[in-house]
Amino acid sequence: MAAQQAIHFLGMPEGALALAELVVYLALAPKSNAIYRAYGEVRRDVEQTRNDPVPIHLRNAPTGLMKELGYGKGYRYAHDYEEGVVAQQNLPENLAGRRYYEPTTRGFERELAERLHRIREIYESTKDTEEHG
Q: What is the pLDDT of residue 48?
A: 93
pLDDT for 71: 97
Q: Which residues of 64-81 are buried (b: 16+ CB within 10 A; e: fewer)?
A: eeeeeeebeeebeeeeee
Any idea where the domains of the chain sit in the sequence? 31-129
Q: Do the beta carbons of residue 126 and residue 81 sit within 8 Å?
A: yes
- What is the per-residue pLDDT across 18-51, written as a single tens digit (0 to 9) for each? 999 999 999 998 889 999 999 999 999 999 998 9
Query: With 0-12 CB in 10 A as exposed, 13-18 as middle and 19+ as buried, what is 103?
Result: buried
> Which pTM value belongs to this model?
0.69
pLDDT of residue 30: 86
CB atoms within 10 A of CB 100: 14
Identify the pLDDT of residue 133.
43
Q: What is the pLDDT along the chain (133 residues), one digit of tens a residue?
A: 999 999 999 999 999 999 999 999 999 988 899 999 999 999 999 999 989 999 999 999 999 999 999 999 999 999 999 889 999 999 999 999 899 999 999 889 999 999 999 999 998 888 866 544 4
Superfamily (CATH) of domain 31-129: DNA polymerase III clamp loader subunits, C-terminal domain (1.10.3710.10)
Q: How far apart are the first and last CA of the chain?
A: 42
